[in-house]
Chains A and B, each alone.
Chain A
Amino acid sequence: MSDLMKLTLSGARDALRAGQTTAVELTEASLAAVTASKPLNAFVHDTSEIARAQAVAADIRIQAGGAPDMCGLPIGMKDLFCTKGVTTQAASAILKGFIPEYESTVSKKLFDAGAVMVGKLNMDEFAMGSSNETSTYGNAVNPWKVDDRELAPGGSSGGSAAAVAAETCLAATGTDTGGSIRQPAAFTGITGIKPTYGRCSRWGIVAFASSLDQAGPITKDVRDSAIMLEAMCGFDPKDSTSMNMSVPNFEAALTGDVRGKTIGIPKEYRVDGMPDTLEHLWSEGTAMLRDAGAIVKDISLPHTKYALPAYYVIAPAEASSNLARYDGVRFGHRAKLAAGDGITEMYEKTRAEGFGAEVQRRVMVGTYVLSAGFYDAYYNRARRVRALIKKDFDDVFSAGVDAILTPSTPSAAFGLGEMVDADPVQMYLFDVFTVTVNLAGLPAISVPAGLDSKGLPLGLQLIGRPWEEGDLLNTAFALEKALKFNSKPNQWWL
């Protein structure tokens, strides 16, 4: 495999500027790696023709001078982003054959910046899942392997994480509704950031839970996250929840200086059954930030325990409303009808055939909690609890905390199929450290911290103040420098 794919975004950007490589060379190296990565099932739609044309255009732009940072850099695109003229299915059978007539704002911004799309990436169906096992394309596979088992890459952005960890592309887009960027990044030993709610436009991203969904990058390191996030962010009049605020230069914020910053360590994130190695890495990360000059403070986020149950009311409720549009009329799959079937049968058969089991379950739970007689008891109560969860964070931030350090996930990656017979609630527990952040609309990043006793990567999460992604990225940069994580998976799939 070409050494070009070992580059980071920043390394490739600098190599392009120095004339050491070209966008065409990088793109060919990436497309070859994509083809060779079939056993990982990370890429689900071929966009090589588009990539080659984008690369040629990027080289012209780079030669002319003044090209944006992302220009000529090969990235993967999660299948949740509508890409004009390119099949977009949100990994669902109900959107089989859907070819958008428009471009999502985030993918447009990346293309305007010159990024090269080498393919669309696998994910959990409608981003509902924590293992990439609910996809209509089949499982994506974690590039990390320590025994004969194939491991889950996490989810929902499992294809994005697998593709970047396997070095088939330099970075990928992801989306995060309850941890779908940070959990797969942690499971695959790479970096992923979810920005503040409202930073990235949601326009053209297939909706799951609109008050929680945010796009963000999955990258090899913190600097790359800074570069790619900046290209993805910005006000968009087409998304009414998009924040009209200028986007700072995130890379310029990476000084590595955290002297005088206050880092909160929440006691509620110490859960039963947490592996010793994870606990140890968490303490080590804390000590590293202290050694770098930060002030470490024990804090309490008392409503943490209620985040998952609140999430599993609010997210399904919003999903049941958002997914009402899949009715077999305007786009996607329509069931074959029997003689005498009317419109209701068309809806019911179409949705039964088109939605997978987890999506059906969540749509129905959402329908139940919004139905007459239960709306107050479930939905309104969950929204009240959500307000308390946000207040927990507001309180610690106003007490002077700059960032909060936690584990990203309660354990390392599990084997594909191992959770199939488990109660759905068991799978939901993998999001225990990440959902609080979506409920409170905060930015958070996962950085790879070390390996567990079996040799699988574990991540640490930093949660920042709203709109202060630059400061958060800088703290993550300091942590990354101290942790010195540099393990990579063996390329068993080649």
Chain B
Amino acid sequence: MLIDTKMAARVAKLARIRVDAADLPALAQEFTNILGFIEQLNEVNVEGIEPMTSVTPQRLFRREDVVNDGNQQVAVLSNAPDAREGFFAVPMVVE
């Protein structure tokens, strides 16, 4: 798969990573190389094989649906870059 700068820009946008326009050609080339390497997978016959979801044959562990923690507002907010009045603060989202 040849990745062009338009596709590279689209992927960067989806990943929410700002990439300068000047860096897009190099990024597109790297994607092309990595995806070229990945495309070896097309040689494998995977007919009738289910995609693996878990390496261990166990059902995921489930706990009882009860409240077992809480009242941790200070701890939860302690690492926030911007916390005000008990909330995480972000730029305006809704006008």
- A residues at B contact (CB < 8 Å): 97-99, 101-102, 196-198, 211, 237, 239-244, 303, 305-306, 308-310, 312-313, 320, 324, 327-334, 337, 341-349, 351-352, 355, 360-361, 363-369, 371, 378, 380-388, 390, 423-425, 428, 439-441, 466
Contacts and interface: CB of A to CB of B under 8 A. Distances in A.
Interface in B4-46: 11-12, 14-19, 27, 30-31, 33-35, 37-44, 46
Given A244-B61, A428-B37, 5 more contacts: A98-B79, A332-B79, A349-B18, A384-B49, A390-B52
Contact of B91 (A305, A313, A337, A384): A337
A65 to B, nearest CB: 35
Contacts of A343: 90-91, 93
Contacts of B35: 365, 368
B90 A346 contact: yes
B86 interface: no
Interface residues of B, number: 49
B32 to A, nearest CB: 11
Which 6 residue pairs spanning A and B have beta carbons closest together? A441-B55, A383-B51, A334-B81, A331-B79, A384-B46, A348-B18
A339 to B, nearest CB: 11
B80 A331 contact: yes
B38 A390 contact: no
Given A303-B44, A346-B90, A241 B60 contact: yes
Contacts of B76: 101, 330
Given A197-B56, A365-B31, A383-B51, A306 B44 contact: yes
Contacts of B38: 309, 312-313, 369, 378, 382
A101 B71 CA distance: 13
A308 B38 CA distance: 8
Contact of B60 (A240, A381, A385, A425): A240
Nearest to B57: A466
Contacts of A424: 30, 33-34
A309 B90 contact: no
Contact of B15 (A97, A367, A386, A425): A367
29 contacts: A101-B76, A197-B55, A197-B56, A239-B61, A241-B54, A241-B60, A243-B56, A243-B58, A309-B39, A309-B40, A312-B38, A328-B81, A329-B88, A331-B80, A332-B81, A334-B81, A346-B90, A351-B17, A360-B17, A361-B34, A364-B11, A364-B12, A364-B27, A365-B34, A378-B38, A381-B41, A381-B44, A382-B38, A383-B53
Contacts of A239: 61
Given A306-B44, A348-B18, A329 B33 contact: no
B92 interface: yes
B76 to A, nearest CB: 8
Interface in B56-80: 56, 58, 60-63, 72, 75-76, 78-80
Contacts of A425: 33-34, 37
A365 B91 CA distance: 28
Contacts of A439: 55
Give chain A's interface secondary structure class. helix
Contacts of A331: 79-81
B82 interface: yes
B41 A310 contact: yes
B83 to A, nearest CB: 9
B43 to A, nearest CB: 8
A330 B52 contact: no
Contact of A355 (B14, B17, B51): B17
A72 to B, nearest CB: 30
Contacts of A327: 16
Given A313-B38, A360-B17, A198 B56 contact: yes
B50 interface: yes
A101 B73 CA distance: 11
Given A329-B80, A332-B79, A424-B30, A351 B16 contact: yes
B87 to A, nearest CB: 11
Contacts of A390: 52, 55
